[in-house]
A = this chain, B = another copy of it.
């Protein structure tokens, strides 16, 4: 196994460089003084170049090929065989695309990002249009490197959700869409929920402390992580024993920091749960973006927006904010945090409407990449789909097609993983409740150890050994399906809105 060992050394070095890149990126978002930005960009570029150089070196290709021979005949589910398989997948992804392409994408994105910011500020889609067109061309070129493909969008999707096909996602979404649209229609016909209690002044430090109390109960290990403040919350890993989260606190809305803290904690618990045997390999990673999102959403929504959770935590929260919540009943608070309201902005969307924002984006991306839609016609299509799915039409493009940063970054192919993550979180939840029948009662007592233990054993432990849909199959016995999610939101909102 000499070649396998050499390959592992090479992979350990690459993984270290990726972790290092994450550290200096985290510092950039948290503590870097303003004028350090230009040099930090150079340093990130140097690291990216080194990582690319290491993986695409002839020596690496040779090592990988020889190691593949060494693991032939081994159990294909063994860590070694899976390590080689995942390494090959990532290697092919890199080696098939010329370095020049990434250079061009990165340069195009840089100017596209500036153009997008200006366009959004001035509500002027035309300013962004030529740059988006160029990015679409580049992403089509990317797909070309992976010919033959079944669907031109497949290679883009595969970058974020390995093994998943466009056709599969479309089938899932086609099943989901009409039912979710119908649910929203029904909710809209009912008396609406009052969430004004959430929109009051809440002291920032007390919000911070309450969030810390919650995720400490979840099992977030402060010896192996920390929380800091950033403009946009995120989770980042510097190793198996240093997984950090960030949050943002709004003084006039308690929902923001609270649910983002639980969300990021869900991501972090995943990364903190990898089998130590996977350290410094590509397997020390999430199975896919959808699986990652299923973890954050599970803690944020299935746990954090549930009634049992608040039966335990609401008295605590009332004690922290007696002036704001002392006279607000648990029921009112619970309904408030679960208010459904078709809205224009994806990141503000609730559980009942979020997936529709995603489906709209996926359909548009596919149409753009396949050439069925011209960038010029994008705003009209956006607005008509908003009306069709959510019953609302953006008053301008800034609140419509220009709202997301993703396309300007050249990121096309991963919106779908957000919705898939939601669906999968409900699949886990169904399986968990079969294995832990009294889970609700545990949560009602603020106990999460058994839940976390289940996730650790069934999901976290494996890291990236299995592809996303494969992992779902192994754990739940079925493929990715919208049924548990539909059932979950029907039941939840049926109860809240009296459907």
Given the known interface contacts A13-B46, A34-B223, A242-B33, the answer about A39 and B27 at a Cβ–Cβ threshold of 8 Å is no
Given the known interface contacts A33-B224, A225-B33, the answer about A239 and B27 at a Cβ–Cβ threshold of 8 Å is no
Contact, CB under 8 Å: B223 / A33: yes
Contact, CB under 8 Å: B16 / A46: yes
Answer yes or no: A38 CB below 8 A from chain B CBs: yes
Contact, CB under 8 Å: B223 / A42: no
Contact, CB under 8 Å: B280 / A35: no
Which residues of A from 1 to 49 have beta carbons under 8 Å from B? 12-13, 16-17, 19-20, 23-24, 27, 31-36, 38-40, 42-43, 46-47, 49
Nearest-neighbor residue (CB-CB) of A35 within chain B: B241
Q: How far is the CB of A284 from chain B (nearest CB, A)?
A: 11
Q: For the complex, what is the distance from the CA of A24 to the CA of B28, rounded to whole Å?
A: 12
Q: For the complex, what is the distance from the CA of A12 to the CA of B50, rounded to whole Å?
A: 13
Total count of chain A residues near the partner, CB < 8 A: 39
Residue of B16, B40, B226 touching A31 (CB-CB under 8 A): B226
Answer yes or no: A214 CB below 8 A from chain B CBs: no
Q: How far is the CB of A228 from chain B (nearest CB, A)?
A: 8
Q: How far is the CB of A32 from chain B (nearest CB, A)?
A: 6
Cβ of A279: which chain B residues have Cβ within 8 Å of it?
A: 39
Answer yes or no: A133 CB below 8 A from chain B CBs: no
Contact, CB under 8 Å: A39 / B20: no
Answer yes or no: A222 CB below 8 A from chain B CBs: yes
Cβ of A241: which chain B residues have Cβ within 8 Å of it?
A: 33, 35-36, 38-39
Cβ of A46: which chain B residues have Cβ within 8 Å of it?
A: 12-13, 16-17, 20
Number of copies: 2
Q: For the complex, what is the distance from the CA of A170 to the CA of B50, rounded to whole Å?
A: 45
Q: How far is the CB of A355 from chain B (nearest CB, A)?
A: 35
Nearest-neighbor residue (CB-CB) of A30 within chain B: B31
Cβ of A17: which chain B residues have Cβ within 8 Å of it?
A: 46
Answer yes or no: A183 CB below 8 A from chain B CBs: no
Which residues of A from 450 to 471 have beta carbons under 8 Å from B? none
Q: How far is the CB of A221 from chain B (nearest CB, A)?
A: 8
Contact, CB under 8 Å: A238 / B23: no
Contact, CB under 8 Å: B280 / A42: yes
Contact, CB under 8 Å: A20 / B16: no
Residue of B12, B39, B222, B225 touching A238 (CB-CB under 8 A): B39
Answer yes or no: A240 CB below 8 A from chain B CBs: yes
Residues in chain A within 8 A of chain B (CB atoms): 12-13, 16-17, 19-20, 23-24, 27, 31-36, 38-40, 42-43, 46-47, 49-50, 221-226, 228, 238-242, 244, 279-280
